[in-house]
Chain A
Amino acid sequence: MEKKKGNIGTESVISIKNLEKSFGLLHVLRGIDLELKQGENLVVLGRSGTGKSVLIKIISGLLKPDTGTVNVLGQYVDKIDNRELQKLRLKIGFSFQNSALYDSMTVRENLEFPLVRNSSHLTRKEVDAAVEDVLDGVGLLQTINQMPSELSGGQRKRIGIARTLILRPEIMLYDEPTAGLDPITCIDINNLINEVQERYNTSSIIITHDLTCAKSVGDRVMMLLDGKFARQGTFEEVFKTDDERVKTFYNYNFTE
């Protein structure tokens, strides 16, 4: 499924200014500026270990920035208290690289978990309906009573995405959504990301080093090199450059 362009608003849902983050002597992010518009799919490309995952963990409040500001839906994530952060997190969906499904729970319980805990007023019927609806949306209704260990990698990714969608987030953060999957499943996941954006009108940041994924889902691409965004624009614009570091990245993905 090709990405349909359009429906991108002018309002920023995420605004990051001069973000820096170090771990000990390792300076990972060195002055990041980023704007995510309403309804936009933004792809952050970069090699492994360049701090892509750190960036979305800071956005979701799992990590604190050293300097800079991170504004998500009008709130500065590093300045609000825990209660406000919890409320804000209900509007942010986070799809983890390894899906992070709860091993000891069935698919149904995995999906119910965030919903039941954050919407205590819902009846059993409403919870069941919500779980079935979101599972149907990712095409895996038949796995509802299975354990995560019984699912394939692609199914786990889809269930992971479904678990975040059940809270109807405004922003989706995908951490390496196609890592470790076969090419056909990668296409399925890319299609799912586009479907999610259209169906739920989410704004998304997709962290990846997979250029096929970047091309299929990205309205805009930003390339992270040495802790800074070196290039940004459409997929074609980003790779129309003489920068050897960028060209190497492209060649490795498409010609080797």
Chain B
Amino acid sequence: MASKPPIRKYFISKKLDVLFLDLFNVYSFLARFFKELFSPPFEFKEVIRQCYEVGYKSLPLITMTGFITGVVFTKQSRPSLAEFGATSWLPNLIAIAIVRALAPLVTALIAAGKVGSNIGAELGSMNVTEQIDAMEVSATNPFKFLVVTRILATTFMIPVLALYTGFVGMMGSFMNINQTEQTSFATFFQGAFQSITFLDIFSSLIKAILFGFTIGAVGCYKGYYSSKGTEGVGKAANAAVVTSMFLIFLEEVLVVQVVAALR
């Protein structure tokens, strides 16, 4: 008797099937986001509440890290410039470093850890405890209410936070330079703004918007589609942070390449 053909469980292999399925799911998720974004009703109140959660509640952490970044970067750069007797260039160097790279990057990494994990865990927990289903059966579109609002909030607020980080970082740097070199406030900022171009600020803004969108989208995707069970919540929070950090570095490299080509 001829043996039965084996049941084909995977199209290619388990890992490749999962990868392609995941890519398709990400595509569907993003397509749904843009579709829901432009279709009424619009959840303005919830977007503002999320902006408060993302922006205002991140301020203490962002202030501390921004300030420390400014101080440490200044202290670490001084000896190298001192070798050439060029410590007067410190404000220029710090401004370039903070505006071009550190402000959006540090803000995004801090937000990925704080906001991204929070979104992943919150939506994951809502999924596990059927709160998302409860929202759906009470005639509310949970994707619009939970996902669209959070992605919009991070996309709006990360650039604002990056701007604030830049300012706080510069203040940290100024305090250090003022103490050591007795440079005045006006001289410091004159030197700092001398080196920054419109393209620097524009590319930083674009990066911050991209980073914000990435943090929100990854956090929501991982949380909204987390597997059931408490383990799924932990995995969603973890994956939200790891994936968004990885994507942030990737985007940083890409934008730097594009800006370098434009310069």
Contacts and interface: CB of A to CB of B under 8 A. Distances in A.
A103 B133 CA distance: 14
B130 A96 contact: yes
A235 interface: no
Interface string A90-130: 10101011101111100000000110011000000000000
Nearest to B145: A117
Contacts of B129: 98, 100, 103
A244 B243 CA distance: 53
Contacts, number: 57
Contacts of A57: 133
**Most B Cβ at <10 Å: residue of A90, A117, A167:** A117
Contacts of A102: 126, 131, 134-135
Nearest to A166: B138
Interface in B104-130: 122, 125-126, 129-130
A164 B140 CA distance: 13
Contact of B138 (A87, A97, A98, A114): A114
Contacts of A97: 130
A113 B45 CA distance: 13
Given A100-B129, A103-B129, A103-B131, A163 B138 contact: yes
A89 interface: yes
Contact of B125 (A61, A90, A94, A103): A103
Interface string B130-170: 11011111111100000000000000000000000000000
B131 A100 contact: yes
Interface string A166-188: 01000000000000000000000
Interface in B1-41: 7
Contact of A62 (B125, B126, B136, B140): B136
A118 B133 contact: no
Given A102-B131, A103-B129, A114 B136 contact: no
A92 B136 CA distance: 11
A143 to B, nearest CB: 18
Contacts of B137: 60-62, 89, 92, 94
B61 to A, nearest CB: 21
Interface string A44-72: 00000000000001001110000000000
24 contacts: A61-B137, A62-B133, A86-B139, A90-B139, A92-B137, A94-B133, A94-B134, A94-B137, A96-B130, A96-B134, A98-B129, A98-B130, A100-B131, A101-B134, A102-B135, A103-B125, A103-B131, A114-B139, A117-B138, A117-B140, A118-B140, A163-B138, A164-B138, A167-B139
Given A92-B137, A103-B126, A163-B138, 9 more contacts: A57-B133, A86-B139, A86-B141, A89-B138, A100-B130, A100-B134, A102-B126, A102-B131, A103-B125
